[in-house]
Amino acid sequence: MSHAELSADARQALLAQTIELPSWAFGNSGTRFKVFAQEGVPRDPFEKIADAAQVNRYTATAPRVSLHIPWDLTDDYAALSAHAKDLGVEIGAINSNLFQDDDYMLGSLTHPDPIVRKKAVDHHLQCVDVMRATGSTDLKLWLPDGLNYPGQDNLRARQDRLAEGLAEIYAALDPEHRLVIEYKFFEPAFYSMDIPDWGTALLHCLALGPQAVVVLDTGHHAPGTNIEFIVAQLLRQGRLGAFDFNSRFYADDDLMVGAADPFQLFRIMHEIVSAGALAPDSGVSFMLDQCHNIEPKIPAQIRSVMNVQEATAKALLVDTAALDAAQQSGDVLGANGALMDAYNTDVRPLLAGLREEQGLHPDPLAAYAASGYAEKIVAERVGGAQAGWGA
């Protein structure tokens, strides 16, 4: 049985859904082996925002762009913000960078040397200034710190130093700001990361205060991890601040969300929908954290937005009355069947119809391909930027 009809509330929820794009998705990027340069990629943050605005133009679902400092350094953030506004988008989260400076070889906020730790804190104060200039409300911190060898440093002392540095950063926030803390179980350190998991991130958030929340990057977990359980648990605590959506087949490969495991994405969105966390005022920001190594970047972002929309539409189709009844009566197969019915529904026609109602082309990828934008940027832009990894 399939339920291809959405309720009025579900339609409204889909129309209200927003997905934030990363500026770094539009620049050249690659693996540690090779960056394959593409023609027409942006040369500066202004052009990255112009490309992101194309994704929003054809999906009407991607109105914010995350920046990464220093990859998106400019001397006029007010102008960058105004430029975004002109193109119908706005600046989203500001991502700090603690992983591309020689001083950070042995750590940044957890480094044994207080001078290096102060440098890492000061970088976040600079990011808070960028937030004030752009109107951004989220400061996103991914900590690459960790150890490669047992005994390399004191595990507990590093947590203490981290807590101290985070407290200094937290104290610099304005009341409307949030500190969004990311975790990752491996890489660049391989013996021990200083924020390896959601528990560690959550403990630091709880110590800091209500403006500190966790960001869950779907690529940052061991194979087989039940990510929807983590979603449910963080939502219970009111500390799920954001997602960094992407896919991984083995490591942190940041491929398009929904490519490796669309069923996992559906299960995540089912937790979100059933907890009421899809609403724009829920405090959960749905972001992409992806780089496109071999595929064209703007279409890859459009496809990613569509993949999230499809998973969301399926989650909204779950027959909750049937699911509740089956769960209450111990009907294991019935309960599982209620989820699978929704997951196995083809929601693409339904989403195409919703787009048409909004005055959009039903097929965003075809509309973008026909627009001539790709050819225009190839002709206009020479010497495009790296996303940052190889820079």
The item of Mn ion, ligand LRH, none sharing an interface with residue 95, based on CB under 5 to 8 Å by kind, is ligand LRH
**Omega cis (within 30) before 70:** yes
> Which of 57, 184, 221, 239 forms a contact with ligand LRH (CB under 6 A)?
184
The item of Mn ion, ligand LRH, none sharing an interface with residue 271, based on CB under 5 to 8 Å by kind, is none
Per-residue tokens: 228: 């929807």
Residue 241 C-beta-side C-alpha neighbours within 13 Å? 24
**In the bound complex, what is the minimum distance in angstroms from residue 274's beta carbon to ligand LRH?**
26
φ and ψ at residue 287, rounded to 5 degrees: -120, 155
**Footprint of ligand LRH on residues 59-98 (CB under 6 A)?**
68, 95
Q: 179-218 mask for Mn ion (x: CB under 5 A)?
A: --------------------------------------x-
φ and ψ at residue 316, rounded to 5 degrees: -75, -20
| Residue 80 one-letter amino acid | L
CA distance 121 to 118: 5
Ramachandran quadrant class, 209 (left: phi over 0; alpha: psi -120 to 50; beta: rest): left
| Residue 142 one-letter amino acid | W
> Which of 47, 145, 194, 289 forms a contact with ligand LRH (CB under 6 A)?
289
Ramachandran quadrant class, 337 (left: phi over 0; alpha: psi -120 to 50; beta: rest): alpha
**Footprint of ligand LRH on residues 42-61 (CB under 6 A)?**
none
CB nearer to ligand LRH: give 194 or 217: 217
The 10 Å Cβ neighbour count of residue 274 is 16
Query: 241: which residues sit within 8 A by CB, 6+ positions away?
Result: 138, 178, 180, 213, 214, 215, 283, 284, 285
CB nearer to ligand LRH: give 218 or 345: 218
Q: 236-265 mask for Mn ion (x: CB under 5 A)?
A: --------x-------x-------------
Answer yes or no whether residue 244 interacts with ligand LRH by CB under 6 A: yes
Q: 261-300 mask for Mn ion (x: CB under 5 A)?
A: ----------------------------x-----------
Note the residues at the interface with ligand LRH (CB under 6 A): 68, 95, 142, 182, 184, 217, 244, 252, 254, 289
